[in-house]
Amino acid sequence: MNRDEWGSWTDKEAIKRRAGGRRRYDAQRRRRLEARRDAVAEVVSRCVILPRGALTTLAWRFGVSPATISRDLRLILYGGQRYDYWSGDRFLFSVTREYPGGPVVGVEDPGGNEIRGQARRRRIIRSLPRYFA
């Protein structure tokens, strides 16, 4: 689709087909990600010390960057990290990160309900003091 066509009218069926295709593609990527992380976890569980070039070999095998395998390894070793934020004695919200300093994967309010909506989550994360973010 060209840049000029984005403003043009699109029928609802085309929108639904495009959304369905995106959901299918995202599900496929999620399955590949889980398979890759399972394989990395299996390799790590068999080795006390990873041999030189193990991450590069895994990256080549799965067709991803070595940095992606390193992120997977950090997630496997450290797991999801949860951080609670308080103002005095009042609980504000809880943020879950994939690994320390990694991307935010969940934000919960004081009732334990997940805060949905990218804009609300982004606003909360931006409101964190610089040393918390």
Q: Are 57 and 43 in contact (CB under 8 A)?
A: no
Q: Are 94 and 107 in contact (CB under 8 A)?
A: yes
- Domain locations along the chain: 11-78, 81-127
How sure is the predictor about 131, in pLDDT bands with cuts at 50, 70 and 90? very low
pLDDT at 128 over 70: no
Sequence-distant (6+) residues with CB within 8 A of 111 are: none
How sure is the predictor about 24, in pLDDT bands with cuts at 50, 70 and 90? very high
- What is d(CA 94, CA 114) in angstroms, rounded to the nearest whole number? 9
Q: Which of 64, 128, 62, 66 is nearest to 97 (CA)?
A: 128
Q: Which of 20, 116, 29 is nearest to 64 (CA)?
A: 29
How sure is the predictor about 28, in pLDDT bands with cuts at 50, 70 and 90? very high
Amino acid making up residue 123: R
Q: Which of 67, 109, 101, 69 is nearest to 85 (CA)?
A: 109
- Taking the CB of residue 40, how many other CB atoms lie within 10 A of it? 23
Radius of gyration of the chain (CA): 20
Higher pLDDT, 93 or 46: 46
Name residue 15's beta-bridge partners.
none
